[in-house]
Amino acid sequence: MSKIFLSVIIPSYNEMANLQKGVLDKVEHYLSKQKYAYEVLIVDDGSTDGSVEFVEDFVKENSKFKLIKNPHLGKAGAVTAGILKAVGEYRLFTDMDQATPIDELDKLSLYLNKEFDIVIGSRNSHRKGAPFTRAVMARGMIVLRSLIVGVKDIKDTQCGFKIFNEKSAEELFFKLQKFHHGFKQISGSAVKAGFDVELLFLAEKLGYKIKEVPVSWLYVESRRVSPVMDSVNAFADLIRIRLNDVAGKYKNL
């Protein structure tokens, strides 16, 4: 068996609507045209809408796709589980709604060399279709994050399209899993801003080189977005990261 070059990790929580749109077929169509060996890990985060059964049927017909069943830990827990079970030389996590299409990987791949350890997508140039409230939230997040946490050289920490080389992936996500004690089981949806910020904050502290690349992004409406609560939670996450850093909790991971 040839060495896996790319692992694609897709977290999934009650994603039946997107699955029925054929998003996995689009991922398979793109990857099947590539010249490298790959795997796709779909990490179910305790779905209750029938999407597990949908994915089970899909992986039966597509041998390079695998399903990982997780308890409901939120996106951070799902992505972490997938990254740490992956075996690829490079590991990309992307969202099931494919707001950033999988073929945008072509842009990130240009920087997959010894110079950069992590390459992340950035939506800052144009967020097509996003409502005004989302634009305000994004701007506010950038300002608050710069003031409270730092990570000032990165404009868009929140784009769900990030690729890591093997070393950075295994070290960063192992440390995050350890820091959060494996993540806690939750109820309801949890896609928190703090996950991406903490991930990149830790990457910078460990000296990994990060490249931000503009990617196409199309707003996909989600019932999980609550402008008020998401903003409050994001602010709380930033304060938590800052306090953890001041207390030296990241030093001995």
191-232 pLDDT, tens per residue? 667 899 999 999 999 999 999 999 999 877 655 556 667 778
Q: Record the tokens describing residue 56, joined without a space.
A: 């089970």
Q: How confident is the model over 13-22, as pLDDT tens digits?
A: 999 999 999 9
Higher local confidence (pLDDT), 234 or 46? 46
Average pLDDT over residues 229-236: 82
d(CA 139, CA 96): 24
Q: How confident is the model over 70-89, as pLDDT tens digits?
A: 999 999 999 999 999 999 99
Classified as helix, coil or strand, 39 is strand
Q: β-strand 90-94 against 38-45: which pairing, if any?
A: unpaired
Cβ count near 147 (within 10 Å): 11
- For 243, phi then psi, to 5°, come to -65, -40
**Domains of the chain and CATH, by start:** 6-246 (3.90.550.10)
- For 207, phi then psi, to 5°, come to 85, 15
Q: How confident is the model over 157-176, as pLDDT tens digits?
A: 999 999 999 999 999 999 99
Q: Record the tokens describing residue 231, joined without a space.
A: 């903003």
Cβ count near 85 (within 10 Å): 14
d(CA 100, CA 8): 14
pLDDT of residue 208: 96
